[in-house]
Amino acid sequence: MLLSVDRSNERTGQSLSFEIIAAIAEKEGVEPTAIEPPEYEPLYEVLNPEALDALFAPREDGTPRSKGRVEFPYCGYRVTVSSDGEITVSE
């Protein structure tokens, strides 16, 4: 069972999923609210946003998880999310 985990960015207060959408929007030169079908594929069709948040969230006892990163294609870009919350979008 996957539990919802709040993996909000401490700097912005936004969820990791929203930060990914915002990074794509910046590359596209549009507002984050414009990143929606039919022009853009939904993030949840590429990966499970809650699973991504859970992957990088601290363990139940509060200890941090190991360092790592996840890479995936989204909206024609290569998105890399690191365990420290850094999001990189490249062509």
| Residue 25 · residue 31 · CB < 8 Å | yes
Q: What is the C-alpha to C-alpha distance for residues 70 and 83, in angstroms, rounded to an integer? A: 8
| Percent residues over pLDDT 70 in the chain | 86
ω into 32 cis (within 30 of 0): no
Q: What is the C-alpha to C-alpha distance for residues 38 and 68, in angstroms, rounded to an integer? A: 32
pLDDT single digits (tens) 26-39 = 999 999 999 999 99
Supply φ then ψ for residue 47, to 5 degrees: -155, 165
pLDDT of residue 8: 44
